[in-house]
Structure 1
Amino acid sequence: MNTIVIGGGQSGLAAARALRDAGLTPVILEAGEHPTGSWAHYYDSLTLFSPARYSAMPGQPFDGDHYPHRDEVVDYLRRYADRLDVEIRTTTRVSAVEADGSGGFLVHLEGCDTLRTAGVVAASGSFGNPYVPEVPGREGFTGQLLHVADYRNPKHYAGQRVIVVGAGNSAVQVAYELAGSATVTLATRQQVQFMPQMVGGKDIHYWHTTTGFDSLPPQWLARIATGTLVLDTGDYAAALEEGRMERRPMFTGFDGEHVIWSDGTAERVDTVIFATGYRPHLDYLRPLGALDASGLPLQAGGLSTTHLGLGYVGLEFQRSFASNTLRGVHLDAAHIATPMAAYAGGALAAYGL
């Protein structure tokens, strides 16, 4: 094998296809039982925020104007993997990657096996590394505390006092769902910013793709969007306005079974769900020295700045607004495939390097 792709979700599948098309022979290593990444582990009601027709990967259409359910995406990725014509090893977890001393890599697997390869693409996503911020008193909270990665459905929270922390799509969607059977507050550091799902009679993703917004680089996006935007058909904003769920400034700490709000009042709470995002799941690259002190990859546009032959696919805002989405991940995969193929294919040898 000349290239190993770590991760068999949408990013890994897109990377493998691009590498294959560039003339390499990639092997996908997927820790789970199926090459569907994290999709099967999201909460039960999850639906895509983009219509099916704007959520396809190259070579396989995703037809329709509906918003696909989580299980539809899982099925789509399974079919995509079946047609990909590359080797996929499931239940194969990478424990560490090291340099082999001759320009390549040693990929160590749980169970003590080691694979040697000329190139590595880290496409393991972020679901395995949920982020929960430090809040004073958190360790002593006597209620239930979880990240949205562990939330499945509202039936276990009926009648409870629940706080959902976060101002993004997942936070609002979960809070809205829970509000049907629980008393729910969204705790956020800023006001929730809604973006209409439909603009001019068309889904916002039509405008993302036809205007080129999807391809805007992160440096430009940082100046355009100064906060997290929540796509809304009108239901979420209405729920807040009508009091079916409320929004309050982020609480300042925990005290036993209570949270302490910013005005100093204490309130007993049954469950706190942090919908506070994820960080890249790349601990296996620490022995290589490819990460910064906070665990983020040292890279530019998906190519490592520390090691030749090391690439990334699926990082949020890796090169554009759509970088880690079904509709956009293939563009980042194609961007790194040519230099990866040049290196792993031995192009440097022609120059005596």
Structure 2
Amino acid sequence: MEHADLIVIGAGQSGLATAALAPRHGFARVLVLESAQQPGGAWPRYYDSLTLFSPARYSALPGMRFPGDPDRYPLRDDVIDYLHAYAERLPASVRTSTTVASVTRQDGVWRVRAEDGREFTAAAVVAATGDFGSPFLPGTPGRTEFGGRVLHAADYRSPHVFAGQRVIVVGGGNSAIQIAAELGPLADTTLATRRPVAWTPQRPLGRDLHWWLKHTRLDTAPIRRLLTKIPISVIDDGTHRAALDRHGVDRRAMFSRFTTDGVLWADGTHEPADTVVYATGYRPVFGYLTDSGALDDEGVPFHRGGMSTTVKGLGFVGMEFQRSFSSKTLRGVGRDASWLLRRLAEARR
């Protein structure tokens, strides 16, 4: 059995940022446990053309700038390369191919057991697996009867395999828009959403949106109040919106159900379809914490800002709206990790 001051579960952006900052808060011996064969979290599984909507200067983790032009918008592979390089510089031991099966607290010590039987102990644990590994598919009526293909954006890679098909993309966020825009030239594509798509200019008044977020401190404003006033929208410089128009990608109200060969639209119209792509986000799954007392009946953590409110020495990094609008992003996880580590260190005293 191996002991550490801190065990971080997950070597994606959240886990790597946490491990990098941990020594500053007194955690000398840090272990990062990652189920995949390499660090990088869910990034290697995203679709090929994924492009960040934050420029490189606002897409870096603590202590290492994102290489290249700071005003460019990095691609998926740029991020993967960056995370690999970041992991190599960590003041921590990263154990890949290590899937955590359970995390329990006994006699004031956290015990972490891997699926292969290895065990680790630590004074504190940070769950940084986030939710990108748990795609959410809504329970649309008739889905099991549909004879076509249904997939989540997590399983979408490129548009070429859908050439000539009738495709419906479900969702109104950035991923849905990017996928629909690149499907448009090759497939008869429709965007299905619950409400009209809201658009946010990527460079208002000549400055990138993230410059405004930083200088207005919008990210640090009370989250609950802001969520009731600011709708989630698509950040775009006009490129994707123009592509949708150019290739005839229309937007319709979400269909009411699947049929055997297509969908039934809200207005009662039936239409055949070959493929439906759900870009409907992800849900947090912390199965390894099931017996820890840290989760409610639906598996959601009891926490305040990422600090567990039911179990000592446990925290979370990388959850959506954990402390700010950027909590689940490259530019936000470092700030949340620093806040959490400071409180975990205080709890040890």
Note the alpha carbon deviations across 1:136-194, whole angstroms, 9 max, x for none.
11111110000000000001100000000000000011000100100111110000000
What residue in structure 1 maps to residue 35 of structure 2? Answer: 31
Tell me the C-alpha RMSD between the 2 structures.
Answer: 1.3
Note the alpha carbon deviations across 1:243-293, whole angstroms, 9 max, x for none.
620000000111111211111111111000000000113111112132222
The correspondence for 2:153, drawn from 138, 148, 155, is 148
Q: Does 1:302 align with 2:299?
A: no
What residue in structure 1 maps to residue 110 of structure 2? Answer: 105
SS, match of residue 327 in structure 1? helix
What residue in structure 2 maps to residue 67 of structure 1? Answer: 73
SS, match of residue 177 in structure 1? helix
Does structure 1 retain, via aligned residues, the 8 Å contact 2:185–2:247?
no
Distance 1:263 1:278 in 2: 28
What residue in structure 2 maps to residue 331 of structure 1? Answer: 335
The correspondence for 1:249, drawn from 242, 246, 253, is 253
Instruction: Tell me the number of residue pairs that the alignment of Structure 1 and Structure 2 aligns.
Output: 343
Q: Does 1:340 align with 2:339?
A: no
Does structure 2 retain, via aligned residues, the 8 Å contact 1:215–1:322?
no
What residue in structure 2 maps to residue 122 of structure 1? Answer: 127
Q: Does 1:40 align with 2:44?
A: yes
Q: Does 1:232 align with 2:236?
A: yes
SS, match of residue 103 in structure 2? strand
What residue in structure 2 maps to residue 312 of structure 1? Answer: 316
Distance 1:253 1:95 in 2: 37
Distance 1:332 1:286 in 2: 24
Does structure 2 retain, via aligned residues, the 8 Å contact 1:221–1:321?
no
The two structures have a TM-score, normalised by structure 1, of: 0.94
Q: Does 1:266 align with 2:274?
A: no
Structure 1 window deviating more from structure 2 (311-320 vs 53-62): it is 53-62
Q: Does 1:182 align with 2:223?
A: no
What residue in structure 2 maps to residue 83 of structure 1? Answer: 89
- Once the 2 structures are TM-superposed, how far is the Cα of residue 238 of structure 1 from its aligned partner? 2.8
Distance 2:301 2:191 in 1: 31
- Tell me which amino acid in the other structure corresponds to 1:84: L
Query: Which sections of structure 2, spanning at least 5 residues, go unmatched?
Result: none
The percentage of aligned residue pairs carrying the same residue is: 50
- Tell me which amino acid in the other structure corresponds to 2:185: G
SS, match of residue 221 in structure 1? helix
The two structures have a TM-score, normalised by structure 2, of: 0.95
Does structure 2 retain, via aligned residues, the 8 Å contact 1:141–1:257?
yes
Q: Does 1:212 align with 2:217?
A: yes
Distance 2:116 2:6 in 1: 21
- Tell me which amino acid in the other structure corresponds to 2:116: G
SS, match of residue 75 in structure 1? helix
The correspondence for 1:50, drawn from 34, 50, 54, is 54
The correspondence for 1:193, drawn from 198, 205, 211, is 198
Does structure 1 retain, via aligned residues, the 8 Å contact 2:152–2:279?
yes
Does structure 1 retain, via aligned residues, the 8 Å contact 2:34–2:98?
yes
- Tell me which amino acid in the other structure corresponds to 1:138: R
State the 4+ residue runs in structure 1 displaced beyond 6 angstroms. Answer: none
The correspondence for 1:9, drawn from 7, 12, 19, is 12
SS, match of residue 124 in structure 1? coil
Distance 2:276 2:255 in 1: 11
Question: Taking structure 1 as reference, are residues 152 and 243 closer, same or farther at Cα in structure 2, changes over 3 Å only?
Answer: closer
- Tell me which amino acid in the other structure corresponds to 1:286: T
Note the alpha carbon deviations across 1:70-126, whole angstroms, 9 max, x for none.
1111111111111112111011110111222x1222111011222222211000021
Structure 1 window deviating more from structure 2 (267-276 vs 31-40): it is 31-40
- Once the 2 structures are TM-superposed, how far is the Cα of residue 294 of structure 1 from its aligned partner? 2.4
SS, match of residue 31 in structure 1? coil
- Once the 2 structures are TM-superposed, how far is the Cα of residue 240 of structure 1 from its aligned partner? 4.3
- Tell me which amino acid in the other structure corresponds to 2:7: I
Note the alpha carbon deviations across 1:279-325, whole angstroms, 9 max, x for none.
11311111213222222211110100110101000011100111111
- Tell me which amino acid in the other structure corresponds to 2:134: N
Distance 2:64 2:267 in 1: 53
Does structure 1 retain, via aligned residues, the 8 Å contact 2:302–2:308?
yes
Does structure 1 retain, via aligned residues, the 8 Å contact 2:308–2:314?
yes
